[in-house]
Amino acid sequence: MNPGAAFRYMRGIARGVRRGDTFPPASRVPSQSAPLGSRVLDTTPGGFNQLVAWETVEHTIGISGLAEPLRVLQLSDVHLRKADAALESLCARITAIEADLVVLTGDVVTRGWSREAADRFLSAIPKTKFGCFAIIGNWEYWAQAPPATWRFVLGRHNIPLLLDESVDLGPIQLVGTDDALAGMPDLARAFASVDYARPTLCLTHSPALFDSIARPGVPLVLAGHTHGGQVVIPRLGSFFLPRGSGAYPWGWYENGNSHLFVSRGLGWSVAPLRVACKPEIALLRLEPG
């Protein structure tokens, strides 16, 4: 790397770090497993930098009012740039997963993304009983993929974008919010058609919105955004968490009867580095409860 490129690279890292907090206290709190348990289904060996050491983790939770088990595949924070060997490896992994529903919880793309990479990833999403639904993250806004553009890209793969909207899937209602960091979420609009007597799953990109979403009748909220800290140092916690993370760096949390799961995500931001924080493919098993 020549001196000019190195300077631009370090300047980019410095700017990225200013968009969040270094070693926030919340990142030193041990992450919790799902209410009915979490287990690693498969993992890729990784060295010091675990950037492409994909790990599939199954999380199980009981949902009151759910009539039948439901498997939800959550893919978050892919941060696509270009089509390359790493993307092909990820696509091969997710295509083989069996699920009933797939949800994309934002930041699928990032600055410099290509249509080729987006189409390759979206085409690899497994076909499921209830399809695939997406919400928007801050990087779609910041990387020239605002709602109109991103809805068009997703539409080419028959993936609806839920922007403060809900959809009735039969066994469960699905709500998707605008991003709390770069967008303007309207929760009244998002939940306007929800029947709180029936189970509801809510998707939101930035977990800081969880406390506003938590309410009776919404037993589960799925989020991403944090990358699990991306670089985690023993006893010190995450080197960096972006704004919008709140007190929720990764794992399971609760507020009243509502549970939040924050995925570690699949990609990277600020710097191409993951330490003690493998990228996560999350498979959630929702059981009648």
CA distances from 116 to 81, 112, 281, 284 (A): 9, 12, 22, 29
Mean pLDDT score, 36-46: 94
The residues, any chain, with a CB within 8 Å of residue 257's CB and separated by 6 or more, are 216, 219
- How does residue 8 score in pLDDT terms, banded at 50, 70 and 90? very low
Share above pLDDT 90 across residues of the chain, in percent, rounded to a whole number: 85
What confidence score (pLDDT) does residue 18 get?
A: 52
Question: Given the DSSP bridges, would you call strands 101-105 and 70-75 parallel, antiparallel or unpaired?
Answer: parallel
Mean pLDDT score, 45-60: 95
Give dist(CA 182, CA 146) in Å, integer: 10
Domain map of the chain by residue range? 20-288
Which tens digit of pLDDT belongs to each residue from 211-261? 999 999 999 999 999 999 999 998 888 888 999 999 999 999 999 999 999
What confidence score (pLDDT) does residue 14 get?
A: 41
CA distances from 235 to 15, 26, 27, 231 (A): 25, 12, 9, 12
| CATH hierarchy code of domain 20-288 | 3.60.21.10
Q: With contact defined as beta carbons under 8 Å apart, do 201 and 100 qualify?
A: no
- Is the pLDDT score of 3 beyond 70? no
- Is the pLDDT score of 37 beyond 70? yes
Sign of CA dihedral 60, 64, 65, 67: positive
* Tokens representing residue 179 in the block: 């991003």
